[in-house]
Each structure stands twice: as structure tokens, then as C-alpha cells.
Structure 1
């Protein structure tokens, strides 16, 4: 078997990332580069790796009757998952190729006995078929298996959004995410950029949600000359609603308190005029992430209105003083559960304890930066998650502690017909096919 066999590489990538699914994208990219894979092989590798991660609980449910109580080495389980994923979800892949490669991989990584075991499992599945998820009686367990989402999260979404909304949400997250980018309005227009991209991305179109956004069902927009030249940057449609929510003016002094890698920072910067004194100060805890902010600002030719600093946002008032900013953005560290379509590993990595601990961190950051907002200024709080504990509950508790702030409706540049948290803005992943996102706007009145 050749060392760059796609199915072998898929098993090796999945075995390496294991419980560290957050590194799957980096591992896939490096594997494609090191293996010098052709586009077709790179696409199949990416499909298998992300497909197995996305459907992991479903695949294990399918495998359980055939494996029984036998303890499997992690790589053997990943091998069986990849085989069943291809058999069940990829109708253009011939089963003979799946069976042959799976057996050879088992010989290469194990021995003849394991190869015979793997072959027997796959032949048994071929004869008997896979059991029906719809036969599961308990609705939480059924949806957990069908959507491959832990039961604690299904139950949480049932409790907070209702069974119908939660079911629609979870049924949507296993569809393929589209590529989403933001046009740099200081260098071009959305119409001009769409025209430039159409020869390479025939299906590219303007976003209906974000007025500076473009979307494409597939393709690598970050690999284009337009990206390198700063005409666009990769940013989800929902995320593009954050900067407009600040109601920015050309001369505003703005603090982006949790800024890396700088997507929202550069969007804020587009609205500012250095000649009028407009400037955004972007903070992050880690120097390497601060460099990412600076690189993004330079690439997009916005460095003259961006200052990036290595600083804990909770030290902002000590560093800059009270009432030093017209607008402050806290795009807070969060569980990221709104990103399950784009980053499926998130749903396995997070626990209910994470959600509760993050809510405390979010509250601490808001409390710390609030004095930095000028009277008459605005504090926008945003997350890319969908649980009340990190969103509505954090805002409600903040307002109880800070009587000098009031909540106002989130302004948008295009109508948002799906909102689940007015006067805040909560977009769920199935509303627009975008990331799940929460935004709340708080004005300082005294």
C-alpha cells in the first residue's frame, strides 16, 4: 500500500487528532501538503476526515451490534468508522475499494488477524445492513444519535429552544458549510468582487444577511489573489453583523477587547477615518495572536487605523483609563457551539461545566471593561454560541450589576427576519445556514 493512500491517510489523521479535534483542520492541511495530494485525493481525504468527525456518534451506533463488547484499539475504531462512513454516506465510492483498502490498512497497521476481523465486520454490515436510528424511542437519545450530538447538549437545546426548534437546528448542522467572506469596502465593492470571482467560483453570490458578505457553496476563497491583496477576508455572515452593531462613527476610539485573529477588528477599522481621529485598539492575551491581528490589518491595508497589543482585556481600564473609548466590543471567549457545522469536533469537546465556567469568564470581562466606555458610548457583547447561560443570562446579570447601562436593539444594515432574543440578536445555525451567533448592545447612560 502506498504511503499516500487516501484511506490510510484518513485513518492516520483521525488517529492523531483523536480527542483533540480542534487540530483536525491543521492536520488535514499539513497532510495534504506533505503528501502532495492531487485535488481529487485531497477532496476525498477532507471529506472522510470531517465526515467521520461530524457523524462520529452515528457511526458508533451503527458499529455497536457488529463489534459487540470487544475493546478496539483507537486506530481500529477509526478504520471501521471511515469504512462505514464511506459505505453509508458516499454513494459514488465502490464498496470493493473500501473493503480492499480497509483490509490492507489493517494488515499494515496491525496484523493478519485484525485484517480478518475488519473484513468480517464489513462483510457482516454488507449482508445485514445498518440498524435504523428512527427506531430509538427516546427523542433525546434518537436525536443525539441522528445528529451525532451528546445527549446533554440535545437536552439543553430542548429545554431552551423547544423540541421543534432544537430538532431543526440539529438536523441542519451536518450539512456542508459554505465558504463565507467579507468584502473590504475601502478597496472595492461587493458587486465588483463578485464579478471578479465568478470565473473561478460560478456560484458565488452576495449574502442576504450581511451587506458586505459574499458566499460560495464550495471553493477555497482564502487561496485567491483577491484574498492576498486584501480585497476580502474570511468571515462568517453572522459574524459580520457585529461591527455594524457598534453604530460606528468615523472619529470613534474603539476597543476590541478579545480581538484575535482580527476579523472583527478589520471590519471595525473599515468604518473609521484616521483623518478624523478614528482608531481601533485590539487586544489579545497571546503575542502570536496579536501578530495575526497585525498581519490581517496590514494585508487589508488598514494598519493605519489599528493598534494591536498583548494585554488581558481585564486590565484595559488600568492601562487606558476610565471612559477612554466611544465603543467597546467584547467578542467573548465562548463554547463555540454555534460553529458545530463548520467545526464539528466542538460538540464532543464541550461539557455543561465548560458552559457554566465560560459564563463566569464572560461576566468578568464585561465587568472589567465597562468603566472604559464613555457616557453616551456603546458596549457590544457577542459570542458564537447558542446557550442562554453564555448569552441572555450574561447580559441580564450584567445589567443588574451596572445600572448605568441600558440595553438597546441591535442595529443591522439588512433586515434580519429570524431573531430569537430581541432586543438582542440570536441567530441559530438553521436560520440562514450560517454560524449560530449572539449580539447584545448596551449603552452607557451615566
Structure 2
């Protein structure tokens, strides 16, 4: 009965989503899409639902800091009650269009229906006390704790960032992470030019501008591209701007034989395929999960590059069992990683990852590089990329591989545009604040 009464209540649905995300049983973007499909919400309630889920995930540590002193006696507080409080405090702190009386009323009604009068009384008391006392400041916290609470990022991430890039850059990165993620698309230049697609989208009332990162990228400022005729007909695909730098780094030729060793979800795979319109070149795309390969195949058909792509379900560490030595002139290892460059797009990652994960993943990343090495021809190019920003998964992995393989040399990562904000050095490192994109790392290694 409770669910029926609350079936189309965006605050209740947001609470349900947060329960699942924060216990590790689902991803925010996937669950939001599921709930929006399953429940009949008006457009304003849909926007509120999305805003509440992402808002709480982006500010969870801050919200918990404000709530902490009111919940000290509630050691066994149910998860849904805590998330309902977080949603309410998020609205009070960050949304200025919703009156506090409406926030209190909605939270109390939800609590009463699900948990009864006692829980409703607790919710009311906490919110009223918070309203009376005002917001706690961060002034008495030490520097790292303050950054952690203020930007809602665990302290181990803060500590690593400061060590790697310094305090000023760390603060810039943290400030950028709670900005809304941009929607960017890669234009399928096999079908249309970027300028032509931009004109067509603007004609259809999209607000769009060219990417400053990739010459085949457009950024959608307003409008939902997925349901447009241009997306459905394969004129573009959704892909982050920094991810669009990977395919050019392979310097693929029209007749190249390319191995994409960790291919899903396939944005880079289909990008590589656009370099091979003669039909002579081929991208062999591997992934551990067959269902993910089916998504790559569907996307390839939509984009008209299916003939250039062959998929195979297998662990990239076992490639020598399937392919002969020196089969490929180009190999891409877009390695499984912590994903900590995606904190803006997937805010829950910051709470689910541990520092030890960086080193566990580095061992897997190095093993994949070792496995694909024999498959690369002499003179061939091996490109390693991740969507993370920390050196143990990036520079340190490449350093170990080069130490084991003196026949490889790190070469300059080729980009189509002169990107003045990225951190080049020997490799390409993009931080989330540089171009307001995902954080990314790319290394190009040439085999003698």
C-alpha cells in the first residue's frame, strides 16, 4: 500500500534509488533511467528526481556533516530514513525554489507512510532543529578534512591529488566535479561533417557548440540527442570529449589491423572503424562479457561501421591463445580502471572505491599489456588509456611495462588539435577541470 501511495512521488523514488546506489546494487544513471521508464512522472517531477539523486550523491559527505550532531543517538538508523533526510537537507541547502515548509511536509508524509508516526516525528525533529540552528561551518576542520567535507570527496582522494598536482590544482579539480556533466557527441564523419550536423541540430532547436578538444566533437547545451533522428540514423554517437582523443592516438591507416583489447562500451571501437572505409582494415574488439559486445555490434550497425568490426568474447589476458604473434599493427588497451576520472558523471564512484583498488587494478592493467605485447608487429603502436587520474594506474603502469620491455619507446601522443590545457609531458593527462570533460590518461608506445 505504501508503494502505491508514493508510486509517483519523486522524493520517495529518489530515496529508493539512493538506497540501491549506496549499498552497491546499482548505478545511478542506470537506475534513474529505469525509474523514469517505470513511473509516470511529469517533466518537472522527472527533473526533480534526477536533481535529487545526483545532488545527494555529489554532496553526501557535506549533508552527513550537517546531520551528524542530530543523529548521534540513532546508531541503527534505517538506510531509507537516512537517505530521506539527506534528500531533505540537500533541498534546504542547495535548492532555492522549494519552500522549507514543503520540504518538511513531503519528508514527513513519506516517513509516516513507510515507517509510521515515530519515524515521521524523528524526521520532523531533525529538520526543525537544523532549521533553527543554521548551517555548521567548516572553519574548525583541518585543510584536508575541510576539502573532503566541503566538496564531498573522501580524504584519501584529496591526499593523493594534493601530492600529485598541489593544493591549487586540487581545489580547481574539486570545484569542477560538482558542475553538471556535459553531453557531448562524436560526429560520424563517414556520413556527415561536423559543421553540417551542427547546422541540422540547430535547425531542430538544439543548442550546440563545437568541442574544443576534438574536431569531430559537438557539445549539446540543450536538447536530448538520443531520441533525435540524427542519433537514430547513425550520424552521431554519445561519447565524452576526452575519450575522442584515443582513436587519433593510434594513428590508424585505412588498411590497419587493430586489436581493441578491452572494447566495451565501444565508443573508441566505432571511432577507430571510421578510419577504415575502404573495407581493408579491421578492428577486432574483445570484451569479457558477451552482452557488452552485443551493444557494440548494435552501435556499429547504427553508425554504419559494422563491416569494419569483429567482436570476440574473451579475457584480454588470454589473447595469445586466440591470435598468432605479430597479428596487429595497432593495439589499444583501454584498460579496466577505477574510473576516478568520471566523478562528475558517476558521483557515487568516490564512495565505492578504496585506495587499495588503484594497486589491485594496476596489476591487472600490467598483465593485459604483457599479454598483448607479442601480438604487435615490429614498428607497431600500442596505445594505453584509462578514465582515471591517478599515477598508480597510469604513469606507474607504463613505467613498469617499459622497464620490462626495452624494445618499446614512449612517443608523443598524436592529437588533432593543439590542446594547450592538457598535461602532456611524455603522455597525455586530462584532469576534469581542464576542459570540463572526464579525466583521462593516454600513452603511446612504439615497438622497435
> Do Structure 1 and Structure 2 share a fold, with TM-score over 0.5?
yes
**Do the aligned partners of 1:22 and 1:346 also contact (CA within 8 Å) in 2?**
no
| 2:20/2:26 contact within 8 Å kept | no
Aligned residue for 2:9?
A: 5
Counterpart mapping for 1:433-444 below 5 A: 433-444=436-447
RMSD: 1.3
Aligned residue for 1:145?
149
Q: Which runs of 4+ in 1 moved over 3 A?
A: 199-202
Quote the residue 1:309 is aligned against.
Answer: 312
Q: 1:300 aligns with which of 291, 299, 303?
A: 303
Establish whether residue 352 from structure 1 lines up as the match of residue 355 from structure 2. Answer: yes
8 Å CA contact retained: 1:241, 1:412 = yes
C-alpha separation in 2, matches of 1:70 and 1:315: 51
Q: C-alpha displacement at 1:398, in angstroms? A: 0.6
Distance 2:73 2:447 in 1: 60
What's the CA shift string for 1:20-41, capped at 9, x where partnerless? 2752222211111111212211
Task: Find the counterpart in structure 2 of residue 247 from structure 1.
Answer: 251
Counterpart for residue 81 of structure 1: 86
Q: CA deviation at 1:137?
A: 3.3
SS at match of 1:204: strand
Conserved? CA contact 2:421–2:434, under 8 Å: yes
Query: What's the CA shift for 1:202?
Result: 4.0
**Structure 2 unaligned residues grouped into runs of 5+:** none
Q: Does 1:207 align with 2:211?
A: yes
| Higher mean C-alpha deviation, range 192-201 or range 227-236 | 192-201
**How far off its partner does 1:219 sit?**
3.5
The CA deviation at 1:271 is: 0.6
Range moving further from structure 2, 222-231 or 341-350:
222-231
Secondary structure of the structure 2 residue equivalent to 1:337: coil
Distance in 2 between residues matched to 1:201 and 1:26, nearest whole Å: 27
- Per the TM alignment, residue 140 of structure 1 is displaced from its structure 2 partner at its CA by 0.7
Higher mean C-alpha deviation, range 311-320 or range 78-87: 311-320
5+ long unaligned stretches in structure 1? none
When structure 1 is superposed on structure 2, of 193-202 and 296-305 the one drifting more is 193-202
CA deviation string 1:52-80 (max 9, x = no partner) = 11111110001112222322111110010
- Report SS of the residue matched to 2:262: coil
After TM superposition, the structure 1 = structure 2 runs for residues 1-400 of structure 1, keeping only pairs within 5 Å, are 1-20=5-24, 22-71=26-75, 72-133=77-138, 135-275=139-279, 277-400=280-403
SS for the counterpart of 1:261 is: coil
Q: Is the 8 A contact 1:201 1:216 kept in 2?
A: no
> Take 1:199 and 1:52, find their aligned partners in 2: how far apart are those partners?
36
Q: Distance in 2 between matches of 1:164 and 1:78?
A: 33
Question: TM-score, normalised to structure 1's length?
Answer: 0.97
Shift in Å, 1:16: 2.7
Change (3 A) 1:91 1:306: same
For residues 396 and 238 of structure 1, the distance between their equivalents in structure 2, rounded to whole angstroms, comes to 23
Mapped contact 1:76–1:106 kept (Cα < 8 A):
yes
* Match in the other structure for 1:428: 431
Alpha-carbon deviations, 1:280-335, whole Å to 9, x = none?
00000111011111111111110111101112112223312111111000000000
SS in 1 for 2:247: helix
Contact 1:260 1:293 in 2 (8 A): yes
Per the TM alignment, residue 354 of structure 1 is displaced from its structure 2 partner at its CA by 0.6
2:206/2:223 contact within 8 Å kept: no
CA distance in 2, matches of 1:178, 1:372: 37
Paired with 2:61 and 2:264, the residues of 1 have a C-alpha distance of 32
